[in-house]
Amino acid sequence: MNQRRLFILSGLATLVGAPVLMATEASAQPMPIPERRHEGPPPRPPGRGYEWQPGHWNWNGRRYVWNRGRHVRPSRPGRHWEEGRWEERRGRQVWVPGAWR
């Protein structure tokens, strides 16, 4: 392949790839977390010992998606569910999942 053709092809590859790189970098930065949804009163638990885990927003890499609330059962008796929350760390929002305490 001659040098002129190689130069033109490499220039085209750069032009075509540049918008893809810019779009990828832009989408890597999450948008502000949406307001929490009101789910209404929780439904009746499926049995004794279940606690309500409220819904929350989750970042899927492109956008926020809503994870609906659900009933959860402790791994051991006497524990209670600590709700998950968003925290700011180094200028970014990070989801800290809920856990049994």
Provide the β-strand partners of residue 77. none
Predicted confidence at residue 71, as pLDDT, reads 92
Predicted confidence at residue 72, as pLDDT, reads 87
Does residue 72 contact residue 55 with C-beta atoms inside 8 Å? no
Range of the domain at 15: 3-28+43-100
Residues 6+ apart with CB under 8 A from 54: 39, 69, 83
pTM of the model: 0.56
Q: How many domains does the chain have?
A: 1
Provide the β-strand partners of residue 82. 99
pLDDT digits (tens, 9 = 90+) for 43-75: 999 998 888 888 988 888 888 899 999 998 888
Position 95 in a domain = yes
Q: From CA 96, how far away is CA 83, in angstroms rounded?
A: 9
Position 37 in a domain = no
